[in-house]
A and B are shown apart, each in its own frame.
Chain A
Amino acid sequence: MRLVFAFLAAMGIAGVAAAEGPRPIVPAATGEPHPEGNEYWRKHHMELMRHDRDLTLREGVRDIEASLGQCFDCHAVQDETGAQLTAADEGHFCRVCHDYAAVQVDCFTCHRSTPDGDKLYRTMATPADHNSIAAYLARLSEEETE
């Protein structure tokens, strides 16, 4: 029995030691913090993103608040020259923790891992936009009347 206690105590100490070991240094983000708190996002980010990706791709809902592109609004990391770090670089926001946890990120086989300057499709087109469906239909009906 004593042996078991000694073993458990040793495990406990080892556990504490592991918890206090080197932790990933998460790159600082810009912008407003998540209202859910960082711990929530660290644990649940994949559930949130999976839910949103299906809504967006399969149902065409694009007014949701979180997209991978929006992650990079705040979570992009630059090197000394100011260039954006891609997922190929160890310092990329996602890779810091994923490398630590030895979990591969598959997102960036298809998605770009840096901010895209093109933020065109985050907002609905207005009838004033030349490429809006409303403006297009208006031009067609004008042609018809001519």
Chain B
Amino acid sequence: MTNRAEMTRRDILKSGAAVATVTLAEGVTLMAFGGSAAEAAGADAGKRWGLLIDASKCATDCNDCVTACKVENGWGSEAENAHIDPEQAAQWIRKVTLKDKETGRVTSAPVMCQHCEEPPCVDVCPTGASMQRPDGIVLVDKHICIGCRYCMMACPYKARSFVHEPLTDQKANSPRGQGTVESCNLCAPRIDTGRIPACVDACEKAGHSAILFGDLKDPDSPISKALKTYPSVALRDDLGLNPGVRYTNL
């Protein structure tokens, strides 16, 4: 075990503030903060995580992604929802069913935080709690969330919920509590340790593989190739938020 009394300064340097100095000309130095992607631990600014949801593969009667999210992050238990108005209950991810009135065609797809490139929830947050990580994941820093719920009003996808009542026995990987806003964090603790999000895992295990997960910044990733090859849509594309979650065959 290292002695953190002596390590604190080095820890800070290790954490991504490593300074690379390049001398351009005599007396002119270029200082770059943050090491290369390989050196830097944590969220990688060279990546942008996203999902491509194929509505034609999503089964109308399947709810496995929602269940997996509940289990992973510990929301939506019966005890928690016992005396909460269903309108106010936590909902990190929901199945939405669409029906074309003309043709009768029914499609369904999960809708969660769309992890916008230009997130309105981050714009309106008065404390900086609603934030975007370098790798594009949008999440709430509950340490500084004051529960004002501006972000809930700003989100066009109704992706955020507010915890109204005290909670106990939360999952260690997913702290959540009264007076703070919460939403899908794309399973950031899983991604940081090299794992796919719980909904993607569950959808694959259910045999649908309707959710494709990957790095949008890597042109050779399966998700980038699929987006390049097939037509897809962003929900409320008119708002110009450039979400990281895309839909196809809606």
Interface residues of A (CB under 8 A from B): 32, 34-37, 40, 44, 48, 51, 53-55, 57-66, 69, 86, 88, 109-116, 118-125, 129, 131-134, 136-137, 139-141, 144
A37 to B134, alpha carbons, bound, how many Å?
A: 36
Cβ of B173 and Cβ of A110 under 8 Å apart? no
Complex: A132 Cα to B191 Cα, angstroms: 9
Q: Is the interface of B mostly helix, strand, loop or mixed?
A: loop
Whether the Cβ atoms of A36 and B4 lie closer than 8 Å is yes
Question: A112: nearest residue on chain B (CB-CB)?
Answer: B170
Count A-B contacts at CB 8 Å.
133
Where the two chains meet, the residues of B that have a C-beta atom closer than 8 Å to any C-beta of A are 1-5, 8, 11-12, 15-16, 41-43, 131, 133-135, 137, 139, 141-143, 166-173, 175-180, 188-196, 200-201, 204, 212-214, 221-222
Cβ B179 vs Cβ A53 within 8 A: no
How distant is B52 from chain A, measured CB to nearest CB, in Å?
12
A110 touches B196 (CB 8 A): no
CA distance A92 to B90 in the complex (A): 29
**A59 & B133 in contact (Cβ 8 Å cutoff):** yes
CB of A93, distance to nearest CB on chain B (Å): 16
CB pair A110 B176 closer than 8 Å: yes
**Residue with the highest number of chain B CB atoms closer than 10 Å, among A34, A63, A88, A136:** A136
Q: Give the complex CA separation of A48 and B222 in angstroms.
A: 40
Additional pairs, 14, CB under 8 Å, beyond known A116-B172, A131-B195: A36-B5, A57-B143, A58-B131, A60-B43, A61-B16, A62-B42, A88-B168, A111-B177, A112-B172, A124-B193, A124-B194, A131-B201, A133-B194, A133-B213
Shortest distance from the beta carbon of B28 to any chain A beta carbon, whole Å? 30
